[in-house]
Amino acid sequence: MLFDSCFWKETSVDSSSCRFSPLLDVLQGCDFLTELVQRIEFCLDSTLSLVLDRASKKLETIRRERRRNIEMLESLLKDTASKIFQAGGIDSPVVTKRRSRMCVGVKASQKNLVPGGIILSSSGSGATYFMEPREAVELNNREVKLSGDERAEELVILGLLTSSIADSQLKIRNLMDKILELDLACARGSYALWTNGVKPSFSDSYSSSQSDQSSDYSVYIEGIRHPLLLEQSLMAEDSNIEASEMPVPLDMWVKKDARIVVISGPNTGGKTATMKTLGLSSLMSKAGIFFPAKGRPRIPWFDQVLADIGDHQSLEHSLSTFSGHISRLRRIVEVVSKDSLVLIDEIGSGTDPSEGVALSTSILKFLASKVNLAIVTTHYADLSRLQSVDSRFENAAMEFCLETLQPTYRILWDSTGKSNALSIAKSIGFDQKVLDRAQEWVEKLLPDKQKERQGLLYDSLLNERNLLESQANEAASVLSQVEGLYSEIRLEADDLESRVAALRTRGTQKVQQELKVVKSQMDTIIKNFEVQLKNSKLEQYNSLLRKAEAATASVVAAHQPNEITFSDDESQSLFVPQIGDKVYIQGLGGGTVATVIETLGEDGSCIVQYGKIKVQVKRSKMKLVQRGINETATSSSVKPKVC
């Protein structure tokens, strides 16, 4: 298949258009093999089934000679067939081809009308011979030869084109991949228009500065419809076939802290369909497909979707319903990751309810610490109560209309649904006596259930109280440490002003003393220069001036302040802090050094003290000034070293 480069030419005319820029980016840098396309178009017709005369000079010459030869052969055979007909040798003139040679038809009894002719074949009844006239033998021989030459030349041309295509195999494959990418993008766009889909965004990339209500949810989808159910309705509409009603739109609102969503409700109420809708929407989002919803939906990026939906019993593998269910859950638990979405339908079903609840609770608590999100459906009311003792759980229920005894297929968040088994049984015409007896049993079992629930609630409250007490004690300890540190910093801050003033006074005195020394030295240099200048000759002036300048420079250099001189005992790159070392801390400024009082870990970080303040510093922020011994750390100002 040849790629039509018209698309590229047309879209590149308006390359500034935002509409086509993503598609142009896909094709950017592609080699469209224009020369190869033009060569194929030159040699083959539009159907790619016929080699054109212009493909080569030799082919053009062969075909021209062949057409001329055929014209002569057909003219000869038509004249012969006409003469045979006029002589009564056949009912109508016949010119045909037998055994790849042109010939005429003649009655078997009149074959003498074709003197010297060669019988190529006969009719089924044997009444008609197909004979090649003697005059046509040479022309037929030439036709066979030219036909063979033509086919040979066509094969040569096709071979050359095939070789050129083979040489460009990698480029063609790359181009086909890009075309496939474009086709997939167009398919996604068509699907979005067909289903009125919207673009989802992923929770991880969602800006935390957003102030709308959706910022509190990891999954926020309004009015989504099950894609497969929606497609059935849309296809029926497109075909003008009476279709069922559109699927009911669902709202998916999962809070950020929720890891397990327990959906309860009646049978045939839409629990499984709701769960599948979320699974399909997550897969569609990863594939870059818009899904049928409203507004601006958000959904996490799930690395994998793990599902246990349906009955996995197997006679072949000796698996009961429960065995198949548990086997599937075991495999899910083995491969689950922190970014996985897990979908479990009727968790813990197929066994004793009490054991099923216990096992399901244990599995869900395990998954709550292992997955991004898990959606489970259940008829066990005890699983819906986990929300009250664990904030990672969230409840949802499928709505059921008690007036019509029919599900509405809408999902209610932060709600607990009932199975409504008796109501559903009544709606399908079950014996009322049986239902009344069942209702009596429900009322008898209710008190026991209430006692069990009260016991579970008491235990959960007791555990919660113990946890809060432990957290309160930890908070009190941290507060005490913070208050002590605050007092130390406060005392240090109060004493800071007096220390600064004292440092300024000492600095001023030192500078004044150095100024006096420098002034005295400069006066001496000037007096010596004046005396020498009076007693010297004119030609010695330059020499005296250079000596005076050198003496002045020596005084200046002697009183030039230098940076802190670090120890040369050890390379700074190999420096390992030890207790008692004097180190310079980057960021403290003021030429302050501190003393190492404690080393931490293998990374070289340690605790240093300057004044009354202790801080933890990384090795990369310290420079060794002097190796020391373990002693009480005091901060001091490093005196400038005079060269």
Q: Give the confidence band of 450 by pLDDT, cuts at 50, 70, 90.
A: low
Q: Give the confidence band of 348 by pLDDT, cuts at 50, 70, 90.
A: confident
What number is the average pLDDT over the span 190-202?
A: 91
Q: Give the confidence band of 639 by pLDDT, cuts at 50, 70, 90.
A: very low
Residues 6+ away with beta carbon under 8 Å from 551: 525
Residues 6+ away with beta carbon under 8 Å from 306: 332, 335, 336, 340, 341, 342, 343
Residue from 26, 314, 300 nearest 179 by CA: 26
**Which helix (H) or strand (E) element contains residue 368?**
helix 353-368
Q: What are phi and psi of 295, to 5 degrees?
A: 65, -140
Q: How far apart are the C-alpha atoms of 281 and 221, rounded to whole Å?
A: 10
- Does 150 have pLDDT greater than 90? yes
Q: Give the confidence band of 293 by pLDDT, cuts at 50, 70, 90.
A: very high
Q: Give the confidence band of 54 by pLDDT, cuts at 50, 70, 90.
A: very high
- Does 318 have pLDDT greater than 70? no
| pLDDT value of residue 456 | 61
| pLDDT value of residue 423 | 64
Q: Give the confidence band of 158 by pLDDT, cuts at 50, 70, 90.
A: very high
Task: Render the burial of 553-585: b for 16+ CB within 10 Å, e for the rest.
Answer: eeeeeeeeeeeeebeeeeeeeebebebbbbbbb
- Does 383 have pLDDT greater than 90? no
| pLDDT value of residue 414 | 81
Q: Is the CB of residue 306 less than 8 Å from the CB of residue 343?
A: yes
What number is the average pLDDT over the span 274-297?
A: 91
| pLDDT value of residue 35 | 93
What number is the average pLDDT over the span 472-493?
A: 81
Query: Is residue 602 classed exposed, middle or buried when 0-12, 13-18 and 19+ CB atoms within 10 A define those classes?
Result: exposed
Q: If DSSP codes are grouped into helix, strand and coil, which group holds residue 1? A: coil
| pLDDT value of residue 209 | 44
Q: If DSSP codes are grouped into helix, strand and coil, which group holds residue 35? A: helix
- Does 453 have pLDDT greater than 60? no
| pLDDT value of residue 638 | 40
Q: Give the confidence band of 379 by pLDDT, cuts at 50, 70, 90.
A: confident
Q: In this structure, which long-range contacts are made by residues 354-362, counting pairs with CB atoms below 8 Å and at least 24 apart in sequence?
A: 356/380, 357/382, 357/383, 361/386
Q: In this structure, which long-range contacts are made by residues 463-466, counting pairs with CB atoms below 8 Å and at least 24 apart in sequence?
A: 463/389, 464/389
Greater pLDDT, 468 or 405: 468
Q: If DSSP codes are grouped into helix, strand and coil, which group holds residue 337? A: coil
Q: What is the pLDDT of residues 223-238, one digit of tens each?
A: 999 998 888 888 877 7
| pLDDT value of residue 358 | 86
- Does 451 have pLDDT greater than 60? no
Q: How far apart are the C-alpha atoms of 605 and 621, rounded to whole Å?
A: 9
| pLDDT value of residue 609 | 84
Give how far the C-alpha of residue 454 lies from the chain's centroid of Cα atoms, to the nearest Å.
47
| pLDDT value of residue 420 | 59
Average pLDDT in the chain: 80
Residues 6+ away with beta carbon under 8 Å from 543: none
Tell me the HSE value of 564 on the side-chain side, using a 13 A CA sphere: 19
Give the lowest-confidence range in 43-57, 384-398, 569-583. 569-583
Q: How far apart are the C-alpha atoms of 445 and 440, rounded to whole Å?
A: 9
What number is the average pLDDT over the span 354-373?
A: 88
Share of the chain above pLDDT 90, in %: 33
Q: What is the pLDDT of residues 87-112, one digit of tens each?
A: 999 999 999 999 989 999 999 999 99
Q: Give the confidence band of 17 by pLDDT, cuts at 50, 70, 90.
A: low
Residue from 297, 286, 288 nearest 254 by CA: 297
| pTM score, whole prediction | 0.53
Query: Is residue 204 classed exposed, middle or buried when 0-12, 13-18 and 19+ CB atoms within 10 A define those classes?
Result: exposed
| pLDDT value of residue 633 | 40
Q: Is the CB of residue 282 less than 8 Å from the CB of residue 288?
A: no
- Does 3 have pLDDT greater than 60? no
What number is the average pLDDT over the span 306-327?
A: 69
List residues bridging with 400 in a β-sheet: 407
Residue from 168, 8, 148 nearest 65 by CA: 148
| pLDDT value of residue 141 | 95
- Does 559 have pLDDT greater than 80? no
Give the lowest-confidence range in 79-88, 181-190, 289-298, 515-524. 515-524
Task: Render the burial of 519-538: b for 16+ CB within 10 Å, e for the rest.
Answer: eebeeebeeebeeeeeeeee
- Does 310 have pLDDT greater than 80? no
Q: In the numeric block, which tokens belong to residue 482?
A: 């913070």
Task: Render the burial of 128-155: b for 16+ CB within 10 Å, e for the rest.
Answer: bbbbbbeebeebbebbeebeebbeebbe
| pLDDT value of residue 206 | 42
| pLDDT value of residue 208 | 45
